[in-house]
């Protein structure tokens, strides 16, 4: 699985003019299930993200995790993270098929919430979404497991 993490002061996702998910301080997580990914990969990704020390401590150093800060995660499906850029038009054949991508996206979201103890908000899988965020830092990290 692949993810782009952005440390945010706030983030939201809107579908058809309605806010469907929003958070205050925490992480904006764009996530993509790749062909061959399974629950074990989603488990690894959730554990890695929840423990990643990318939030500032009292001294201003990146020493705290999402768990440590009590921050939330806005998780949005993003199949374009599977882009193959060999030509001028990206291909997305390495992304998991939509049904499997949705299943793993939902599994990952539940894992972040139920096992890692992170407050979670979501976009809508497969929808045309308008994502808004204030990147804190800016801190943006690419993760693949």
CA dihedral 23, 136, 81, 34 (to 10 degrees): -60
Q: Looking at 79, 92, 108, 140, which residue is catalytic?
A: 79
- Annotation says 78 is catalytic: yes
Q: What is the DSSP letter of 111?
A: I
- Annotation says 80 is catalytic: yes
Q: Looking at 35, 80, 92, 140, which residue is catalytic?
A: 80
Query: What is the Cα–Cα distance from 90 to 72, expressed in whole angstroms?
Result: 32
Burial class (CB in 10 A: 0-12, 13-18, 19+), 59: exposed
- Annotation says 79 is catalytic: yes
- First and final CA of the chain: distance in angstroms? 6
Q: Looking at 78, 92, 94, 125, which residue is catalytic?
A: 78
Strand 72-77, strand 130-144: pairing: unpaired
CB neighbours of 131 closer than 8 A, spacing ≥ 6? Answer: 11, 12, 13, 14, 28, 76, 123
Q: Which positions are annotated as active-site residues?
A: 78-80
């Amino acid at each position: 699985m692949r993810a782009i993490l952005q440390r945010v002061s706030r983030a939201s996702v809107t579908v058809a003019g309605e806010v469907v998910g929003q958070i205050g301080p925490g992480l904006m997580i764009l996530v993509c299930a790749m062909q061959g990914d399974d629950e074990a990969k989603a488990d690894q990704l959730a554990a890695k993200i929840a423990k990643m020390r990318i939030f500032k401590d009292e001294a201003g150093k990146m020493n705290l995790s999402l768990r440590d800060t009590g921050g939330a995660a806005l998780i949005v499906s993003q199949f374009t993270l599977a882009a193959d850029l060999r030509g001028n038009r990206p291909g997305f054949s390495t992304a998991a098929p939509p049904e499997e991508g949705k299943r793993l996206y939902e599994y990952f979201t539940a894992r972040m919430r139920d096992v890692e103890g992170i407050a979670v908000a979501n976009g809508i899988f497969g929808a045309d979404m308008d994502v808004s965020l204030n990147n804190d830092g800016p801190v943006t990290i690419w993760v693949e497991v």
